[in-house]
Structure 1
Amino acid sequence: MDILTINDEIGKYPNSYYAGTAKLPDSYPQAEGEISADVCVVGGGFSGLSAALHLARQGMNVVLLEANRLGSGASGRNGGQVGTGQRVEQIELEKKVGMEQAQTLWDMSLESVQLVKDLISESEADCKFVNGIIHANHRQRYTKETEHFVEHMSRVYGYDQFRFLDETAIKEEIGSPDYHSGCLDLGSGHINPLLYVFALVKLVENSGVTIYEQSRMTQYTKGDEVKIQTDKAVVKAKYAVFGLNGYHNNIDPSLVSNVMPINNFICATEPLSDDLAQSLIRNNYGVADSRFVINYFRLSEDNRLLFGGGESYGYKFPADIKAKTRKPMLEIFPNLKDTRIDYAWGGTLGITMSRLPHFERVDNNILSVAGFSGHGIAMATLAGKMAAETISIQATTFDFMAQLPSATFPGGVLLRQPLLVSAMLWYSMLDKL
């Protein structure tokens, strides 16, 4: 199985709403021959672009290799939600890693969201940051837990951007009978992720990074000088950064053990009237619900509902993604039964057992950042910056993340996919209870 080509065509962006409504840039050339650099960054998503940018700003000669088009992976086709915190909530994190590390992770998350905002602003690109994400409870029994969480975050972390939403308040915000309570995080927000990719590309290009597309790493050789091979080139560099996430394609055994690729799906409706759009999400916040197989949705700038949901038990996308995403969408918004779906697409992300990012020193001069578990826009951007700092000034933040608990997936490459199916079926059943 080739995760890069099983669902996508090399050299083309996926048929997403984002690609279908954006002015797509011309392709960068393929890498050819022998190339030298201080640092070779592999992967042209958020983490790779951020690493390349921050390395170049430290005066380093940087080459970036992207196997397909820049941002054509999860970075340019996700739900667009830029959230505070980690994929694991703070109270649970405190139990997992202790209060000191939980505080550091929280502070990092706030820094990561601000970094996204700052880079968008600096780029002056057409990428709007819309404030606010609602975490919506699909079961009444989660209400007290959410109320306690909001109070805890205010008292322990001094964070005053959460607003508890009782049943009346959640129904005022979201026009669905499915939700019983929740909380609004005004410190989070949502963006068009592909436009954010293009904003980063603009900054990266202006910083002097040499960019190659359709230049897939086929193997690498460790040593004082790292050698990265593609079909047509060999890049020799003092350091390397891997920003592969779910598209590592089994290039390294340790990444295979700790980061698993899974698929998720999104649809975009036809443009809705102002009244209908506002009846669905009154104040244009992003929404993510409490299901293990999360439903997440928001409105686009042209009033489409962008709805993510649906389960996948294999690496190949289903034949009818519209049907797969329409089903959960209509469970939340049955009044959209006659609404046309204009776009539907899938994407591959990288998850970890802990749901915390997986940072690894593959070798003394090779760093890998991956496993953002669906929480990657902000944290992947910060991860790239942290990798750059580690290389340029030997900052300690990367090693802190690398020490976080990271259980390997059982069964190796052959058995882990059947185990994932069993786990997803179990959690899907829990969502229905």
Structure 2
Amino acid sequence: MALRRPDEHVDSWYARSAVPAPERPRLEGRVTADVAILGGGLTGLSAALELAEAGLRVVLLEARRIGWGASGRNGGQVIFGYSCDQAKIEALVGREDARRMFDWSIEAVDLVRQRIARHGIAADWRDGHAHVAIKPRHITELKAWQRDLEENYGYPLQWWDREQLREVLDSPRYLGGLYDPRSGHLHPLNYTLGIAAAAERAGALLFERTEVTKLERGAKPVLRTAHGEVQADFVVLAGNAIVHGIAPELDDKIMPVGTYVGATPPLGEELARQLIRNDMAVADINWALDYFRFSADHRLLFGGRASYSTLPPPNLPGVMMRRMARVFPQLKGVRFEHIWGGLIDISRNRAPHWGRLGNNIYFAQGFSGHGVATTGLAGRVIAEAIRGQAGRLDAFARIRHHDFPGGRTFRTPLLVAAMAWYKLRDALW
């Protein structure tokens, strides 16, 4: 096999099945803009789309290819809420703001669907998502979550006991599930490429293979690259787990974590519908969780494992096959045709970390593995703030975030040790 260029998309089923996309030019020379955006993932592209549609001059710089990072190779599950539960959000900002933020997360899910329809994006959207229970304590947790969401947030979900769930999900592993018909799943790279195309049609300028090497702050901040620079009234930092050193005060607030997805060969429509009759996406609620769904061509896309050292786990294909067979014994011996991974950015409290540096530099990070929908919301909220409506961004900026302990030298081994405890807890009770 020919070696892939390091600035091409990571080899994945998503990259192999992506719609054709143009190669954007590298930035050469000096340009000016109303807004300069670092990062060609869903946060940056969403902000670019919103701002360009409002008539602002927008320039977006991507170090590799549009959608190269987590936006183009994640599990594809589009879910309400945030990575931390609502109780944590309430503890951080109070009940009133927590309720508003939850409503905004529902807006984020709806925004994905609206953009697919409005811009004709071939993202293979499918309705439905279930959080499923492996152990009795999971049933207790899920039912408590169901009550809280219905009574305090006005968001009803369907509880399915083991028999009801088994009618839809042909797996012996689960004791019940909490189903949401409003959430769903999609082809994340095609969705990201579709948002990029929509932003360009609105007038945004997108540059690829243009790594930002320095941010110069001031009344007119500048993003510098090896071959050019962008001076703007406002800058948006949307590099998440991949970018370090551009704004050092942000770096220690997030930790990069490796996560992995595998795609089987096509299993055929009959078997796919036997295994997941309603074509929903599924995730368990273990700390080291499994999540899975079917693609449009009936491959099982199975995510699991996480590497808090960012190094791929040993024998990753074998581990992923065993995990898949625990969920679907019918697939024992089925190999993955593709396995790929990438980095997500987790915050210490798993809450979103969005805000501003000074008066003219905006950022969003800390999606903590729950970003397919909320990245779009982040881009919209930042665009609102740049246009003078900062109320929603201010609400998120009130969430207090702490550095990961241990500094650069020790924070990774400390996190690895902490995660070992949670994995032991998954295994024992």
Fold match (TM-score > 0.5): yes
SS of equivalent to 1:398: helix
Q: Identify the residue that residue 214 of structure 1 maps to in structure 2.
A: 209
Q: Identify the residue that residue 258 of structure 2 maps to in structure 1.
A: 263
* 252 and 9 in structure 1: CA distance in 2 versus 1, 3 angstrom threshold: farther
Task: Measure the CA separation in 2 of the matches of 1:39 and 1:63.
Answer: 6
Task: Measure the CA separation in 1 of the matches of 2:126 and 2:362.
Answer: 32
* 250 and 175 in structure 1: CA distance in 2 versus 1, 3 angstrom threshold: farther
Q: Identify the residue that residue 288 of structure 1 maps to in structure 2.
A: 283
Q: Identify the residue that residue 154 of structure 2 maps to in structure 1.
A: 158
Deviation, structure 1 residue 265: 0.2
Task: Measure the CA separation in 2 of the matches of 1:154 and 1:197.
Answer: 32
* 33 and 318 in structure 1: CA distance in 2 versus 1, 3 angstrom threshold: farther
Q: Identify the residue that residue 70 of structure 2 maps to in structure 1.
A: 74
Select the residue among 90, 94, 116 that pairs with 1:94: 90
Moved more, 249-258 or 385-394: 249-258
Deviation, structure 1 residue 320: 5.0
Q: Identify the residue that residue 144 of structure 1 maps to in structure 2.
A: 140
Q: Percent same amino acid at aligned positions?
A: 39
Task: Measure the CA separation in 2 of the matches of 1:114 and 1:128.
Answer: 15
Paired amino acid for 1:333: F
Select the residue among 56, 61, 67 that pairs with 2:57: 61
TM-score when scaled to structure 1?
Answer: 0.94
SS of equivalent to 1:203: helix
Deviation, structure 1 residue 77: 0.4
Give the alignment of 1:98-117 within 5 angstroms: 98-117=94-113
Contiguous gaps of at least 5 residues in structure 2: none
Q: Is the 8 A contact 2:127 2:182 kept in 1?
A: yes
Task: Measure the CA separation in 2 of the matches of 1:363 and 1:312.
Answer: 34
* 252 and 413 in structure 1: CA distance in 2 versus 1, 3 angstrom threshold: farther
Deviation, structure 1 residue 276: 2.1
Task: Measure the CA separation in 2 of the matches of 1:91 and 1:174.
Answer: 29
Task: Measure the CA separation in 1 of the matches of 2:314 and 2:11.
Answer: 14
Paired amino acid for 2:292: F
Task: Measure the CA separation in 2 of the matches of 1:324 and 1:363.
Answer: 46
Summarize deviations over 1:255-297 as a string: whole Å, max 9, x none: 1111111110000001113332123212111001011012110
* 386 and 313 in structure 1: CA distance in 2 versus 1, 3 angstrom threshold: closer
SS of equivalent to 2:342: strand
Q: Is the 8 A contact 1:256 1:413 kept in 2?
A: no
Task: Measure the CA separation in 2 of the matches of 1:208 and 1:324.
Answer: 46
Q: Identify the residue that residue 412 of structure 1 maps to in structure 2.
A: 407
Q: Identify the residue that residue 134 of structure 1 maps to in structure 2.
A: 130
Give the alignment of 1:221-240 within 5 angstroms: 221-240=216-235
Q: Identify the residue that residue 323 of structure 2 maps to in structure 1.
A: 328
Q: Is the 8 A contact 2:257 2:306 kept in 1?
A: no
Q: Is the 8 A contact 2:256 2:308 kept in 1?
A: no
Give the alignment of 1:238-317 within 5 angstroms: 238-317=233-312
Moved more, 61-70 or 87-96: 87-96
Deviation, structure 1 residue 145: 3.0
Summarize deviations over 1:378-407 as a string: whole Å, max 9, x none: 111010111111111232111110111322
Deviation, structure 1 residue 327: 2.8
Task: Measure the CA separation in 2 of the matches of 1:109 and 1:116.
Answer: 11
Task: Measure the CA separation in 1 of the matches of 2:107 and 2:249.
Answer: 28
Q: Identify the residue that residue 3 of structure 1 maps to in structure 2.
A: none
Task: Measure the CA separation in 1 of the matches of 2:167 and 2:335.
Answer: 25
SS of equivalent to 2:219: coil
TM-score when scaled to structure 2?
Answer: 0.95
Contiguous gaps of at least 5 residues in structure 1: 1-7
Whether 1:371 aligns to 2:366 is yes
Task: Measure the CA separation in 1 of the matches of 2:322 and 2:306.
Answer: 11
Task: Measure the CA separation in 2 of the matches of 1:61 and 1:348.
Answer: 31
Task: Measure the CA separation in 2 of the matches of 1:311 and 1:400.
Answer: 31
SS of equivalent to 2:262: strand
SS of equivalent to 2:307: coil
Q: Is the 8 A contact 1:248 1:255 kept in 2?
A: no
Select the residue among 389, 393, 402 that pairs with 1:394: 389
SS of equivalent to 2:404: coil
